[in-house]
Amino acid sequence: MSGDWKGMLNFFRPKKREPEFKILSQTETPYNHVYVIQSGNNREMWFKGAGSFFLQSRVDIKSRKCLSLVYSRMLMASLLFQPAPRRILMVGLGGGAITNCLHEWFPETHIDVVEIDSKVIELCKKYFFLKETGNYRIHEVDGRLFIRQQRDKDPYDLVYLD
């Protein structure tokens, strides 16, 4: 009989709710169809191209200094080879989670981010806490052109192609 009561009590307990899924932005650009979604504390940027969705970035809005995606965390293994970078280049912004963290961890490091899609830059500033500073700059240009222009300038300690 006691087993029946336990089952009945579980019936009356409130069920756990899944985090609410909300589309914050959806826009078509010359390069992608871009979605920004919110699910609980996770905010994500997705690209849709050729009929498939691709997760570009995720940030935990309550813990922005920590990288949420395994891919992003694995990129940080490069710091084992260059633990104190002075200059970093990131080609491709995504949601900016990686470069935002790098800027937080290395505030004196010069970080250049190259992104061809102006709408992605705009969405990052609006939804992903991207704030440029004197040494954390976003360049709206094709990455190939930017790299060519850097030939005779100071070399980068780390280069990420994302």
pLDDT of residue 22: 96
Instruction: Determine contact, residues 88/157, Cβ cutoff 8 Å.
Output: yes
Q: How far is residue 8's CA from residue 98's CA, in Å, rounded to a whole number?
A: 48
The predicted structure's pLDDT at residue 93: 97
Q: Residue 24: what pLDDT?
A: 98
Nearest-Å Rg of the Cα atoms of the chain is 20
- Position 64 scores a pLDDT of 84
**pTM for the whole thing?**
0.85
pLDDT of residue 4: 62
What distances in angstroms separate CA 33 from CA 45, 71, 118, one per listed residue?
11, 22, 13
Q: Alpha-carbon distance 119 to 49, whole Å?
A: 16
- Kindly list the averaged pLDDT for each block of 10 residues, start to end, along the chain of length 162: 57 66 96 96 93 94 91 96 97 96 97 98 98 97 97 96 90
**Active-site amino acid positions:** 162
> What's the confidence (pLDDT) of residue 157?
98
**What pLDDT does residue 9 have?**
58
